[in-house]
Structure 1
Amino acid sequence: MSWTVTYDASPEAKVKAGGSHAVNRDRHLGRAPDLAAGFDFGHRNPNIDRGRSAMNESFVNDGAGGFRIPVVTKDPNGKDRPPSAEFADYRCARLAQVKKPLRMDAVLMRGVMLQLDPLWFDAHCSDWRADGLNEEARRYVQVQLNWACAEFGQQNIIGGSIDLDETSPHLQLSIVPVTGDGRLSQKDFFQGPGHFRKQRKELCDALEAAGYDPQRTPTERSTERTSSADYARIADKRRASLAIAKRDSEKIWEERRQVRAQIAKLDLVTASIQSDRQDLDAQLEDLPRFRRKAKQDAMVEARAEARQEVADERATAREAARRAEVAARAHSAAERNLLALNERIQQEVNDNPPPPAPPSYDTMRRDILEAQPHLLAKFLKGMKSKDGTTLEDKFEAYQRRSFATHQRHDSDALGRYRGPGYEQWKTRSLEMQRKIDAARVASQVADMNRRDGGTEYER
């Protein structure tokens, strides 16, 4: 089986002296080492899968008849430059050998793309997206590079890249068209359609000698002078059109299959209807006999239903009479129980004395005031601050400070204190406070009695 060979030297790949096209192409070819060095410039090609850009293999002319991987260099200010800047360094060094001054519209560089058949990769190197090129694929790519060096001169190949992050693997090269006599002339290397066919034939001969079976008919990519991006857009459009046509064809076949299935289903329904009609015709012949039998069966069923209804009504009447008798007995028992309960209640009323009189207001007030110290102590224990201490703790600290003051006042000239201890002093102080509270309560009650005309105040 023969495989296609693409040789694309589109005029759109010309790079002139003016503008930033040269830098953009350098960064396009050197995006793998740039990303590895931390330089991310972004690219407008929609076919680039940035997740696989690190798999690309970029190389630059070493000026000694070979190629090497571009690396980070320093500018005059000592700042790091991206590896792709080495393409510009070699291009400038090569152009310095041109004898005449360069015009602003001079073509400094031209891009070339060499590609094997994508179907060949599917058959011989299907894992290239994950594992890169195998030994056979790498050998054919090297053949393409060797042919380019022989065709354009190794010293005129600035560098290139084996791109593995796009739709299919391919070899991209940047050619600076410097002739042997020191002229810058891209027309000497790219002379026209006939020369392009000759170059492609020589490339096919080199690949065939290496074991690749090239298709001699030029591919559409080789005959159309379009850029890589334009060709990719056209190819994507055609693939989309084929996908739409395939989808429509599959849809038509699916609709045809569904129609056939519906026809078969209708045939089954028709056969079933015909069978049912035959059964109905047979049943119509026996209809008089069925009517006589149905009438007899209905009379027998009606007599049986009437007998059953009479039996059910009699059973219902007997059950109602039984329930009425049970309800009457229960009513009599309940009446007797109520009379007995009334007698017991009356006896308990006669046997028990009347309830005691409610306490007076003074008694209730006295009990409440006597209970206040206990309630106050409970309240002090329950109120906590943010630091975890209670009001009782703060009150205890306050009492201890008061006791310290009492000690200072009751000490002699030598500072000796001979009074009671803290606990005895606190008990004595609390007892004195209770007496003061009791006297205050008695005074309040006496004042209230005087305001009421001298009689004891009761609520």
Structure 2
Amino acid sequence: MNRTFVNDGAGGFRVPVVTKDPQGRSRPPSAEFADYRSARLAQVKKPLRKDAVVMRGVMLQLDPTWFDTHCPDWRTDGLNEVARRLVETQLIWACKEFGQKNVMGGSLDLDETSPHLQLSVIPVTADGRLSQKDFFKGPGHFRKQRKELCDALEAAGYDPQRTPAERSTERTSSSEYALLADKRRAALAIAKRDSEKMWEERQQVRAQKAEADLVAASIQADRQDLDAQVETLPRLKRKAKQDAMVEARAEARQEVSQEYVTAREAAQRAEAAERAHRAAEGALLALREQIQHELDGNPLPPAPPSYDAMRRDILGAQPHVLGAFLKSVKFKDGSTLEGRFEAFQRRSFATHQRRNSDALGRYSGPGYDQWKSRSLAMQRKIDAAKVSSQVADMDSMDGGTGYER
């Protein structure tokens, strides 16, 4: 009659079931606990330390003597409505205290000396840290947690024992404590039968039980109303599912329509590009035929110029190229290389005048412009002679003057 449950990840709990691994092999229901623990630890932002505490066990238990009075047949029939409600209260308190997502699952154990609830808590904080110290801070915090749990149980109709129990100082095992409790209850029963005072207290207890039964009946009525509301949930779920399917179909149609329009536009662009390609190909073919026709009807092109002709053209273009170069070179003071070369020529002409003047200092030679033209013409002849000599040397190295390059 034990009850095992696992967090469903949607704010509740469910019974674990058999699942399949990627290879199709069956996995035991307990594998769902490991799956949920891995999924919850994946929310931690920092890497886990090797000694990190990833899970803590928590056991919640009512007073064993309470079951003797309010649920005596729990060993054979399980928990009654009142006991289940108190166990649910304990589970609700644990979810509030540790966070519902942190409660991986648990088990309601009914195979031992007294019923108790065992929970497995993964201590993940709201900001994504794994820290058990945020949930289990020490003795003072434990006392606070015990008080809050007692308050919740008291609000649910249970009379909690708020003072330390005798068992907490005796240091006995559960089985020893159960035997001792049985002996004490037997002695108490004999004392009650032999004492009028105890009989009156028993009558009071019966009256309290009757009042509790009335409260339980009221709770049962509320539970029936809740069950009636729960019965409407499948219909609401079906309607929500249908509405979601209708909305999904509409969105799918819209996406398909948009994709169709996009594909159609792409096809039109492809057809236009194909037509343009064919037109360009036709134009190239026509141009090729035209060129071939012109080549067939025209004589051969003139022969390329000889090396000597090209050399003369280059030497003839040297003054122009040199002049352009001299004008392009500028200095920081704003002058150009052409201006400095002009000044150098004028100084050279002044030296020429001094050398060619008579004893009285009279110069009867050509003027500056005529002297410069003669100097440039003479330099061109010298350069031409140098180039001719170099070409002759190259011709002799390459096989003679008739070698065609």
TM-score, length of structure 1 as denominator length? 0.38
Q: Which structure carries more relative contact order (alpha carbon 8 Å, separation 6+)?
A: 1
Asked which structure has the greater CA Rg, the reply is 1
- TM-score, structure 2 as length reference: 0.43
